[in-house]
Structure 1
């Protein structure tokens, strides 16, 4: 994976090596809740002693133009002249460059501004010294308040002063120009017509702080990426992705800090390529799947030259290809846009994809799962099978967009536990996706356990503990979940990822009509068909009970921990009496019961399915029956409405 990221960074920098810092630029949304976003240009005129504010609309090139590469971490001294936080500019950013003891123009910017625009609150202790100098509201002429009044508002806490001053500036902008805080995404500084981000000394300083200072020890050795002997570092703290552990002695060679050079070290060129590659991936190849953030990291098999714009087009092509497997909406967008990328369609055998699932909390980057070497053609296969399963769903259940089971929807068929709104039981679902992308067989019993647990979430309303939202009607939610689970099993069989049981020869049964076609499409074995038919008859009784009393007590007969064949036989005998009791023993249901009993009796001595499978296929039969009843009622109401209008 690290080689793939370096390769992308190499292609980014090959177009303009001198624009390394621009390659780290972070994207900014051009809109926020339908409001256009702007960068506020704050210009100091040292000759006139005035300050001027100008808005410029955020465009795609804005972050590169004004070198928006992110703020320094909160604990460090702030040193970015383009920032998302006005408080940094109001207080510490410009004075900090005097503390850095820089010479010439950059180090003297503060001296030019100090007397005309800054207020000195006096020497401070420790980290509070960074707040010593702040913009003087009186000298800026943008507030009727005095600095003494603002300091009094801070109530002795000097750290609060930058925020108080920033609020005065926002109040001025609102009153005088009708600009609101929510319209402004970035802030940058201009002094006497010169943008500070364009000062050569500033660019050198920023590049040194990001990369060059890591090589100050002058250590030489073999770079682990390019295999050349150069000046190297083992400090990977500036990299976003954590490739190796380099901060715990226990993981170093020889259990010594110097041993990290043997574990993993990088030269300056490779370090810069990794930073550029990471930035490109974060800006252009970030996605979301299975309730988890995801980076798509391509690896070229054959070398291809792309311009920066070509790389971005290629990244967009990869994104729409992946998203087309995630949802029906993603598929529609893919079909609309794919004609714009004929060149990449022809070249898709030239690269493979690595899917990095991760979690980020503050400064911690945790890798949850890396799925390696996925050929783009695999996405085509998944997309085609998803469409075929949708067609099967329409064929056996009727038209409904719910039968399109993209990768995104599949996530909600796996009950994943939550803790404090964060998914904690993510491994099993990521393993499932790994199997889909890698073509590895999925254990059938694992799936059945998941689907029975899913049924429990709906039946006993355990939604607060899982990734599944509570529907308006939990019984209908259970019905859809079981039908979709059956479609997933068919999907996996078609992908040759599931090998379990033999299909029964439905032509040799007394089943007929839609139920016969359903059993055939699902590929049930004879024991599974028997239990499914039992579930179907339970649905008949449940429907009658609901019409009579608003509840379905027959469902209490299902034991979700598992039902052995003895329990199945007892329930089969009991259901016959219930059908008679609720006047549901029609000739059709008699045939269903007879077929169920015949299959049960024939296979009871060598029962091949587990106790949990028994539960799943009983619920599948119940879901099939209930959905048919719901659909029949809807169709009846629709026909009545049409007749009424005629």
Structure 2
């Protein structure tokens, strides 16, 4: 975790240096960072000489150019933010009371260092807010009810003086108090002359209540050394002020420009410069410190392994191994954040191998393989469920692929067959599901993450077809089951051609057949083909090969039901490739039947 935070900090440092950001620019947050807060309610005051007077509530569009004028920085969920600007919650009146009017309770503190004139200015605004509270809240309710619920609303203050209109960010007193509150919060959990856990340097002051990421908190026993003594908590994760500011800027940059979708799951791509920035080319540095260049790059990337067209992994695969990337899958739940998965230190060379395997699969299957193909089997345990409940399994496989760790062949096969059977029984996308399953297994085999059993076999008729799929078919029984599936599919197509139905499909037992069932299936298929006068030379060749392979295997195939039925289903799916071999010059009429 420290490594990941150090990487975020380094990004922030690069941005601060390249863009010359000042302290306030780092501290201030964009209220519309998620793109939902597009409307702004401004509580408007008029300043005549030194008198402040409330004059109404206005609705305006959010403007990114006014971020420093809005001067927003979030605070406690149930208390005031660090300035009198706030996001409108479900209870608009409560937002006004706690976040806007509630902020002015800062005037009750004796130690705030502001001038008498500044105190009087703030007290006048507070008095007008209290006096006109009901009018303001009624207007806020009215506006909220008139705007669609999905559109977020942000509230701030606006002061007019003659022809000049100012926001709170235009007044030094609000800026001063923002910095004051940040410093006061940090001082509650600090120590002097200690080593920062991020930069590794001894600093005059380090703090222990870092809240840049909400998965680190001091209100739970597990985070505090010695129990709930907050004054000792700096020992858990001491951070200096320089690293804290860089970390905050880095987080904002990562969330805005390095946020991507991984098959529907949001993640952050965080680069780490493993040999120091002085050994990294300017071209690479520019990508991660220049938002305009990063946006330009994202618009050019078209090949994706994650199904996100803006994902820059395709570009990073060709970078030298002077950087690594971290994948942070973070789930936000209200004010808290939960790490779903953190994949650390993935080298560009590993990303390149993954893309090489993808391109190989694309060529074999004439299709576009992405992690979405894997996701098809690891999304919902029941297709009727509303929510995705297999994210943990899917992300574990993603982690293993990027970190080059073995994947359980039988575990993956279990989930693939569950979906394949469901599609088969419900007569949905059975052939697509089988094809996806073959692509996944071949992809994992190309990356050497699963090991297929291999046995020496004499050369036979379908060798070229089997070699096309690597070691997936390198045992006699797998080849026999595959070809048996192809023969069964030819029978089903013949039945559909003749009768408009596939009655033999009941004999396939919803793809839950065992070894005994498969051994009895070949004669059944042959007899049915004879009945349809369709057991021609090509199918006899196919039946001969099936018999050879199944009889070559010793009694007791040592395969799970899932595995046996998968290879059988694969043969059903790839029957057209089998047909090209047994019917090199012509096709029987059932081959042309649509699947």
Task: Say whether the fold is shared (TM-score over 0.5).
Answer: yes
Distance 2:363 2:337 in 1: 41
Residues 492-507 of structure 1 aligned to structure 2 (within 5 Å)? 492-502=444-454
Could you tell me which residue of structure 2 aligns to residue 58 of structure 1?
Answer: 63
Distance 1:322 1:501 in 2: 38
Could you tell me which residue of structure 1 aligns to residue 349 of structure 2?
Answer: 377
Distance 1:212 1:19 in 2: 16
1:95 to 74, 80, 101: 101
1:44 aligned onto 2:45:
yes
1:208 shift after superposition = 3.7
Deviations 1:459-512 (CA, angstroms, capped at 9, x unpaired): 35xxxxxxxxxxxxx535111111121122222222232321238779x3234x
TM-score, normalised via structure 2 length = 0.79
1:4 shift after superposition = 1.1
Residues 209-248 of structure 1 aligned to structure 2 (within 5 Å)? 209-216=181-188, 219-220=191-192, 221-227=194-200, 228-236=202-210, 238-242=211-215, 246-248=218-220
**Number of equivalenced pairs:** 553
1:328 shift after superposition = 6.5
Could you tell me which residue of structure 1 aligns to residue 157 of structure 2?
Answer: 189
Residues 404-483 of structure 1 aligned to structure 2 (within 5 Å)? 404-414=368-378, 416-417=380-381, 421-460=386-425, 474-483=426-435
TM-score, normalised via structure 1 length = 0.73
- Per the alignment, do residues 98 and 607 of structure 1 end up closer, same or farther by CA in structure 2, a change over 3 Å counting? closer
1:603 to 517, 530, 553: 553
1:589 to 519, 539, 548: 539
SS at the partner of 2:309? helix
Could you tell me which residue of structure 1 aligns to residue 466 of structure 2?
Answer: 519
Could you tell me which residue of structure 2 aligns to residue 288 of structure 1?
Answer: 261
SS at the partner of 2:570? helix
1:539 shift after superposition = 1.2
SS at the partner of 1:423? coil
SS at the partner of 1:283? helix
Distance 1:19 1:632 in 2: 77
1:360 shift after superposition = 1.9
2:11 to 8, 11, 14: 8
2:438 to 473, 486, 499: 486
Contact 1:106 1:201 in 2 (8 A): yes
1:620 shift after superposition = 1.0
Contact 2:269 2:326 in 1 (8 A): yes
Deviations 1:404-453 (CA, angstroms, capped at 9, x unpaired): 11123321133543797333332322121112212223232222222212
Distance 2:589 2:330 in 1: 46
Deviations 1:336-395 (CA, angstroms, capped at 9, x unpaired): x96xxxxx888653321011122221223211211111122333332333233222112x
Further displaced range: 274-283 or 256-265:
256-265
Contact 2:485 2:570 in 1 (8 A): yes
SS at the partner of 1:95? helix
1:27 shift after superposition = 6.9
Further displaced range: 227-236 or 412-421:
412-421
Contact 2:261 2:308 in 1 (8 A): no
Distance 1:386 1:554 in 2: 37
Q: Which stretches in structure 2 are left out of the alignment for 5+ residues?
A: 580-586
Residues 570-589 of structure 1 aligned to structure 2 (within 5 Å)? 570-589=520-539
- Per the alignment, do residues 251 and 67 of structure 1 end up closer, same or farther by CA in structure 2, a change over 3 Å counting? closer
Residues 107-122 of structure 1 aligned to structure 2 (within 5 Å)? 107-113=119-125, 118=129, 120=131
Further displaced range: 585-594 or 189-198:
189-198
- Per the alignment, do residues 334 and 311 of structure 1 end up closer, same or farther by CA in structure 2, a change over 3 Å counting? closer
1:260 aligned onto 2:261:
no
- Per the alignment, do residues 241 and 372 of structure 1 end up closer, same or farther by CA in structure 2, a change over 3 Å counting? farther
1:303 to 274, 277, 282: 277
Contact 2:306 2:372 in 1 (8 A): yes
Could you tell me which residue of structure 1 aligns to residue 582 of structure 2?
Answer: none
Q: Which stretches in structure 1 are left out of the alignment for 5+ residues?
A: 121-132, 138-161, 339-343, 395-402, 461-473, 639-646
Contact 1:66 1:197 in 2 (8 A): yes
Residues 268-347 of structure 1 aligned to structure 2 (within 5 Å)? 268-301=241-274, 302-303=276-277, 310-313=289-292, 315-316=294-295, 324-326=303-305, 330=309
Distance 2:237 2:33 in 1: 36
- Per the alignment, do residues 606 and 494 of structure 1 end up closer, same or farther by CA in structure 2, a change over 3 Å counting? same
Could you tell me which residue of structure 2 aligns to residue 616 of structure 1?
Answer: 566
Contact 2:317 2:348 in 1 (8 A): no
Distance 1:288 1:389 in 2: 22
Distance 2:578 2:512 in 1: 26
Could you tell me which residue of structure 2 aligns to residue 567 of structure 1?
Answer: 517
Distance 2:60 2:431 in 1: 55
